[in-house]
Amino acid sequence: MLVILRDMTNFVQTNICEVSDSDFQLMISELCGCVNLYRDDVAKQPMAYLLTAIVREKKKMTLDYLPFTRVLELKVGKLEALIANWQEMKSTSD
């Protein structure tokens, strides 16, 4: 999933569409869906462009745009559960 390779002083920039890993492409599609960006707008750009667009346009991540359960939704759900468990353990120890 490495998008930019570094050789001390030279950088090789790879556009999102040039990465052949299907899981990476699925993650990009889901990420675009989460922030309501069109995937075609970022496909010929590097990953840094997508991340910059999210920050510059002040996009908020939401799962409302995803049609069904996907990888990112599962990861967010697991993270929410971990935080809830941690908060519960912390409140019972206080």
| pLDDT tens track for 71-93 | 666 777 777 888 888 888 888 87
Per-domain boundaries in the chain: 4-93
Does residue 94 register a pLDDT over 70? Answer: no
Does residue 68 register a pLDDT over 60? Answer: no
pLDDT of residue 7: 52
Q: How far is CA 87 from CA 1, 74, 78, 80, in A?
A: 33, 20, 14, 10
pLDDT digits (tens, 9 = 90+) for 35-51: 778 888 888 998 888 88
